[in-house]
Amino acid sequence: MNTLLPTAAVGSLPKPSWLAEPEKLWSPWALDADALVEGKQDALRAAVHEQRRRGIDIISDGEQTRQHFVTTFIEHLRGVDFENRETVRIRDRYDASVPTVVGAVERVKPVFVQDAAFLRQQTDQPIKWALPGPMTMIDTLADRYYNSREKLAWEFAGILNQEAKELEAAGVDIIQFDEPAFNVFFDEVRDWGMAALERAVEGLRAETAVHICYGYGIKANTDWKATLGPEWRQYEESFPLLQQSSIDIVSLESHNSRIPIEVIELIRGKKVMLGAVDVASHDIERPEEVAHTLRRALEFVDADKLIASSNCGMAPLPRDVALAKLSALSAGAALLRQELTGALV
């Protein structure tokens, strides 16, 4: 990629209200059968159009074809019963109704590969596709078969690797694994979480990214953040391990957060996808604020390794707010880019 400070949405964008009820996680589809297939594709087209129009450099699908970033993947696998739902505690924070593992898990057919190929047709710009990470997957379901988080994570890692290789073949440039669970279960990250993530990216030629965050801007997460004290040092647990890993890009929150910016030093050498717009507030950032957040990171990451993004997915936000935040993101990145390249002239 030639652009300095490229911009990217980290994950989900709000869906059109004709496709799913807005401002809601796990929002049910408003269409079915062929109309749903067509509706998802139209929503994906609109998401690509808005990203390009608003100056986003690395294009993603905005997760328009999935109900949820984890469960939609899980529901496509054999061994998972999605009608037999159970309520479990997610990320040690909030309860949700999730599918149940009832037998050996297996990917009998590709999950997102067709959608990714469709995204590839829509643009010549680099594209990024997000998959759930193995640890976050096991933390978003009920298991009545393996009775071991580690064993199930290892199975999922193999399945994710199959899917990732086919996404790569479909032309995806960056494959991202979402691992918010890495900010919660530190012992497990050390014991087997990192190893499972490495298994998921094994043999990939596409760039690989991991997104670790404090979650969507929903009440359960903002309440949790309020208990974390004046400095959020959760990244200090996983970053030294990621620095030693084969993952190319690390995506983290920054804007409006209490994360000490120097944690980025712990992933020195990696590309950094920095959250420079907040997803927990409806206020639209001013470009100067976005540029300020990005500028602070430059002490710890080379400018040619910095990607500007949102703190997390934006699915729960009103659509106009999320789109305005994309514009703010690229305007802020452009300001800083001008500053950096202007200095060379």
In the bound complex, what is the minimum distance in angstroms from residue 215's beta carbon to Zn ion?
6
> Binders of Zn ion among 138-177, rule CB under 5 A?
none
In the bound complex, what is the minimum distance in angstroms from residue 136's beta carbon to Zn ion?
10
Task: From 39-47, 57-65, 81-89, 310-318, give the range in contact with Zn ion by CB under 5 A.
Answer: 310-318
Binder among 130, 195, 291, 312 for Zn ion (CB under 5 A): 312
Closer residue to Zn ion (CB): 136 or 161: 136
Binding mask 175-194 for Zn ion (x = CB under 5 A): --------------------
Closer residue to Zn ion (CB): 79 or 215: 215
In the bound complex, what is the minimum distance in angstroms from residue 197's beta carbon to Zn ion?
15
Only one residue has tokens 């297996």, namely: 106
Number of CB atoms found within 10 A of residue 336's CB:
24
**Are residues 114 and 169 in contact, defined by beta-carbon separation less than 8 angstroms?**
no
In the bound complex, what is the minimum distance in angstroms from residue 216's beta carbon to Zn ion?
7
Number of CB atoms found within 10 A of residue 194's CB:
21
In the bound complex, what is the minimum distance in angstroms from residue 140's beta carbon to Zn ion?
13
Written as six digits, the tokens of 309 are 């993004």
The residues with which 80 forms a beta bridge, in sequence order, are 101
Task: From 137-145, 256-264, 306-314, 328-336, give the range in contact with Zn ion by CB under 5 A.
Answer: 306-314
Closer residue to Zn ion (CB): 312 or 324: 312
Give the integer Cα–Cα distance in Å for 169 and 340: 35
Closer residue to Zn ion (CB): 98 or 312: 312
In the bound complex, what is the minimum distance in angstroms from residue 118's beta carbon to Zn ion?
24
Write the CA distances from 29 to 16, 65, 236, integer angstroms: 11, 10, 39
Closer residue to Zn ion (CB): 90 or 213: 213
Distance of CA 64 to the CA centre of its chain: 13
> Binders of Zn ion among 192-221, rule CB under 5 A?
213
Closer residue to Zn ion (CB): 90 or 312: 312
Closer residue to Zn ion (CB): 175 or 213: 213
In the bound complex, what is the minimum distance in angstroms from residue 311's beta carbon to Zn ion?
7
Closer residue to Zn ion (CB): 151 or 282: 282
In the bound complex, what is the minimum distance in angstroms from residue 211's beta carbon to Zn ion?
6
Closest CA to 275 of 219, 194, 223, 333: 333
Counting residues that bind Zn ion (by CB under 5 A) gives 2
Q: Which residues lie near Zn ion (CB under 5 A)?
A: 213, 312
